[in-house]
């Protein structure tokens, strides 16, 4: 994963942590696009994963 994230990027360590926790997956090749736009659906999935609400109703 580190091969895909420049160490000079301030966001690099945060991406590594989020990936290790399963909040984000990146692209199928294992790359991450920290400057890429995301959809509302992708953001909602990340929020659900980060908050642990998987399979639970509010």
* Cα gap 39→17, rounded to integer Å: 21
Q: How far is CA 39 from CA 3, 17, 32, 36, in A?
A: 25, 21, 15, 10
Check: pTM over 0.85? Answer yes or no.
Answer: no
CB-based contact 33:27 (threshold 8 Å) = yes
pLDDT at residue number 11: 81
Kindly report, residue by residue over 13-57, the tens digit of the pLDDT.
888 899 999 999 888 988 888 888 999 999 999 999 999 877 666
Non-local (6+) Cβ contacts of 32 within 8 A are: 1, 4, 5, 15, 19, 24, 26
């Amino acid at each position: 994963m580190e091969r895909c994230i420049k160490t000079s990027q301030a966001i690099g360590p945060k991406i590594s942590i989020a990936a290790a926790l399963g909040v984000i997956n990146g692209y199928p090749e294992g790359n991450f696009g920290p400057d890429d736009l995301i959809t509302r659906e992708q953001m909602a999935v990340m929020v659900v994963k980060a908050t642990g609400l998987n399979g639970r109703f509010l």
